[in-house]
Every structure is written in C-alpha cells, then in structure tokens.
C-alpha cells in the first residue's frame, strides 16, 4: 500500500463572492490540524485501487480518529478502516500502512464471491474496532461485519475468523443475480458489547425470476459480542419496518443512523417512502410507544406533492447533553428551491418550539447568490446536509455538500463543495462562522464533499469526506483523496 500525505498549501478554501457590504469571511478552521486546517490523505491500495474518501468517523485512542473509508470510482468497493493521528496525518503504524487489511479469496474480494462496502466504524470499550457495511454479489446483498484489534489486525475471535459475511439469502434460499437483500449503513456498540446495526432491505427487480425480498424495508439487527445474532432482540434478532402498501416506487425506505442512549434505549433514523422518520426503540428491539407519536417522529411535509429526499439517503441527527435531539433533512416543495428541515425535539419526541424560527433551516446571505440562469451549464447553489453534531459549546454544525457551478469544461453539469454550516444553541445562524454561518472547504481546482462529522472529546469538531484531485488537465474517478478539516 503506497500512501502519501499531501503537504501542499491548501488552506485557502474556495469562497463565493459576497453581496455588497458583507464583511470578509472568518476562517473557522483549526490551523494546527493538517496543513492550515485541512488534511488530504491520498492512498492507493494494490488489491482494491484508490481509497477515495471518509464515510464515517469515530474517536480513537489518544486523540486519534478512526475512519471508515470507501472509493469514489464507479463500481468500486473497499471494506476498511483507517487511523488518523491528532494532527490529521495517517497513522502508518496502524494495520497495513494505516489501514485495516483487506479480505480476499481466489474467487473475489470475499470468500464465496462478491465485494464488500464499508459504511460505518465503531470502537469498543476494550479498544477493538468494528467495521460494518454490506456484501454486494452482483446486486444481491447481505449485511457484513468485521472486527479488528486496536492495532488494526483482524480479531480472529469474532464471528468466523474475524468476520460476519453471510451469503445473500432470502427465506433460507441463496439470492443470486440482482436478488436484493439487507445492507447495514450504521452501527453502534452498547456498553454490554451488544452490536446494533441499521440499514435497509432492497427488493429484487420485479421483472427478474430471482429469489429475494419483494418489498423495501427499514432494518435493525442485533448481534452478540461474538458476532452471532442476538435472537432476544426484536423478532428473532431483527426489527423490520415495511410500508403497508406495495405500489409503484414512491421513495427510499431504510434506516441510516443509530445512537445508543444512556437509558439503554436506541434512536434510529431514516426514511419511510422518502419521508424522514426518527424512532425510539427499547433495549430489546421494540418500538417505544411513549416517544413522539406512537414511537416515532416524522418530519411534516410542506406541501401535498412534496417529497423528502437526499442523494445519499442520509437522515442525520445528534443528541445534545440535555437529551434533546437535533435533526435535519432536505425538503423539496413544489419549487426549485431546497429548504432544509432543521428542528429540535425534546427527549420525549415532542418538537421544541423554542428552537429556531420554524421547522426550516435559517438561510444565510450566500443562499441568495444564485448565478444567472442565462449562463449555460451553471446550476443554482443548493446545500445537501449529510451529517450533524453538537460541539463543546452547544453549537450545532451541519455538514455536507453545496452544489456549485462546474466551470472547467468537464462533462458533468455541476459539482459539490465540502461545506459546513453552524448554528447557535437556540437554532439561529452563527454569523461568526465563515461567511454569515457558512464555510466552504474546497481546495482550488477540485470538487469535494463532506460525508461525516464528529465532536472530539475536547469539544472541537472534525468533518470528513473526499476531494477529487485535478491531474493532467482533468479529474478522473481514481484521482481522489480522503479529506478532513477541524473547526475551532
């Protein structure tokens, strides 16, 4: 594995022109991290190609960071975690040159065939590292887990020789050839070592004679510390939520986030028919009917034909020290604009009306700066929230991507910038952050995206994602790197 940490000066982020009279943007990055506040980590793995980005972050030991990583190239898969030092540099003493080792066999990336995709990472109290995601065997899916020691080596005591990689199956029969199946998108480890994974059930295409689930669903699975299914949880170890009707496709259904509460209960979020939902579950995997309305909170739709959608189908939320739940979701009403739902719930699931001015995220001055529609191939700016956290001062940071003009003659009509927005504890925009509450971390000549955000034990916030590097006059899917930044 050949790894290089770019040290070129990249601290100058791309900023959009301010309206007349607007004060100069205040750079909120912590310049002691990476190079002037930004770390680009480029890595090429011989077995799997180039590592493209960070999809999840978890606190490691001694102020280090654990990152679940993935490739950007089309059809790429990579099932690994990386360890990053407190200064933003890759910890090359971890695993193989900073990454956990790959799993390969003569038939493919994983014994039995198929490829693995990492989605989440978690750290046990004893320092062991759990990686979660799914197996993809040509469109037939199954949940996947692997555990590593604190040094990044495979923990052979977990599952089958360190892994839980079941073959894609449905009702006891193996599912092949675009047969759908279950996937994990997030994972959490409870104090007793129980592993809770959440994800979705992908139905098989109706026009194919294959074995697989017929209906989409949101999925929660519980595992014992040794990797076996905890059959005391839910119904035989699983909780499935499937929409009642089975008509034409009407939006994504699945869970994307999970958090364990101090009470032992669980919060899980996702979408049911493209509508953002947040459930609270009991420790044994039942819906807690005392929360919200019948055990859940659903973001209200702003119009009869409105839908709730996000490109990565993320449903981010964060819990503050008082147990209140901050959540955000992009809402699409009957117009081109993209208002973002941004609200806080009380611990019992009722909306906290003292937070913000409405259910929508407060707009910043930059949101009014739309390019002229007469400019050929230029898109309007549009923020896509993908992760949210509460920092050490009670401020709320939402990170994701901002659609921006793509002006270098590429075939794509637009690209995204790694963007964060910060709000005060009462939900109002933090005007001291960046440009009126918005900060773009996008090195010149590149496009980028933030996928995850983490509040470190000291209260600072690290955001992670990917950056596409321009080489030889163009951006290729392999010209990518992990990118992280830390905010003061």
Q: What are phi and psi of 372, to 5 degrees?
A: -65, 135
More reliable by pLDDT, 114 or 487:
487
Q: Are 100 and 81 in contact (CB under 8 A)?
A: yes
Reported for 26-30, long-range contacts at CB under 8 A and 24+ positions apart, including other chains, are 26/432, 26/433, 26/434, 27/434, 27/439, 28/422, 28/433, 28/434, 28/439, 28/487, 28/488, 29/439, 29/441, 29/485, 29/486, 29/487, 29/488, 30/460, 30/486, 30/487, 30/488
pLDDT digits over 429-439, tens only? 999 999 999 99
Element spanning 454, H or E: strand 447-455
Lowest mean pLDDT among 74-78, 189-193, 239-243, 407-411: 407-411
Which range marks the domain in which residue 382 is found? 2-487
Comparing CA positions, the residue from 164, 74, 79, 167 lying closest to residue 120 is: 79
E strands within 111-206? Answer: 115-123, 129-137, 140-148, 163-164, 169-170, 173-174, 180-189, 195-202
Look at residue 1 and tell me whether its pLDDT is greater than 60. no
Q: Which two tokens stand for residue 130?
A: 């759990």
Comparing CA positions, the residue from 416, 336, 414, 335 lying closest to residue 376 is: 414
More reliable by pLDDT, 228 or 332:
228
Give the count of domains, the chain: 1
pLDDT digits over 233-264, tens only? 999 999 999 887 655 555 789 999 999 999 99
* Average pLDDT of the residues in 283-294: 97
Give the CATH number of the domain where residue 440 resides. 2.130.10.10
Angle in degrees, CA 101, 96, 157, rounded to 5: 45
pLDDT digits over 189-238, tens only? 999 999 999 999 998 877 666 678 888 899 999 999 999 999 999 999 99
More reliable by pLDDT, 317 or 109:
317
8-state DSSP, 429: B
């Amino acid at each position: 594995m050949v790894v290089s940490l770019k040290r070129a000066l990249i601290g100058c982020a791309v900023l959009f022109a301010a309206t007349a009279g607007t004060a100069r943007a205040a750079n909120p990055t912590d310049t002691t991290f990476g190079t002037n506040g930004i770390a680009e980590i480029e890595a090429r793995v011989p077995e799997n190609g180039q590592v493209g980005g960070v999809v999840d972050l978890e606190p490691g030991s001694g102020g280090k960071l654990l990152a679940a990583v993935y490739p950007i190239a089309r059809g790429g898969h990579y099932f690994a975690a990386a360890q990053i030092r407190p200064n933003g540099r890759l910890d090359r003493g971890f695993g193989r040159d900073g990454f956990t080792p790959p799993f390969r066999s003569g038939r493919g990336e994983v014994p039995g065939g198929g490829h693995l995709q990492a989605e989440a990472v978690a750290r046990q109290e004893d320092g062991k590292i759990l990686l979660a995601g799914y197996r993809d065997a040509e469109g037939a899916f199954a949940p996947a887990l692997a555990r590593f020691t604190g040094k990044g080596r495979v923990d052979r005591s977990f599952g089958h020789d360190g892994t839980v990689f079941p073959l894609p199956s449905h009702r006891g029969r193996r599912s092949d050839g675009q047969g759908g199946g279950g996937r994990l998108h997030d994972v959490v480890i409870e104090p007793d070592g129980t592993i809770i994974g959440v994800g979705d059930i992908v139905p098989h295409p109706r026009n194919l004679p294959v074995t697989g689930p017929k209906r989409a669903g949101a999925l929660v699975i519980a595992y014992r510390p040794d990797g076996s299914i905890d059959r005391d949880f839910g119904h035989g170890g699983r909780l499935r939520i499937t929409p009642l009707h089975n008509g034409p496709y009407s939006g994504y259904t699945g869970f994307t986030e999970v958090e364990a509460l101090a009470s032992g209960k669980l919060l899980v979020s996702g979408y049911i028919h493209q509508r953002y939902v947040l459930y609270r579950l009991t420790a044994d995997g039942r819906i807690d009917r005392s929360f919200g309305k019948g055990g859940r909170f659903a973001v209200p739709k702003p119009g009869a034909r409105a839908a709730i959608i996000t490109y990565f189908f993320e449903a981010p939320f964060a819990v503050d020290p008082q147990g209140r739940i901050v959540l955000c979701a992009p809402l699409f009403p009957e117009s081109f604009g993209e208002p973002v739902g941004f609200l806080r719930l009380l611990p019992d699931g009722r909306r906290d009306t003292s937070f913000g001015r409405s259910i929508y995220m407060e707009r910043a001055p930059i949101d009014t700066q739309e390019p002229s529609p007469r400019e050929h191939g230029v898109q309007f700016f549009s923020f896509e929230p993908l992760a949210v956290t509460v920092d050490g001062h009670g401020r709320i940071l939402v990170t994701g991507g901002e659609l921006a003009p793509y002006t270098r003659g590429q075939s794509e009509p637009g690209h995204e910038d790694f963007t964060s927005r910060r709000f005060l504890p009462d939900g109002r925009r933090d005007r001291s952050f960046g440009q009126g509450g918005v900060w773009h971390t996008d090195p010149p000549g590149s496009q980028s995206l933030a996928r995850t955000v983490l509040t470190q034990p000291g209260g600072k916030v690290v955001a992670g994602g990917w950056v596409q590097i321009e080489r030889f006059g163009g951006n290729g899917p392999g010209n990518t790197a992990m990118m992280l930044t830390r905010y003061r």
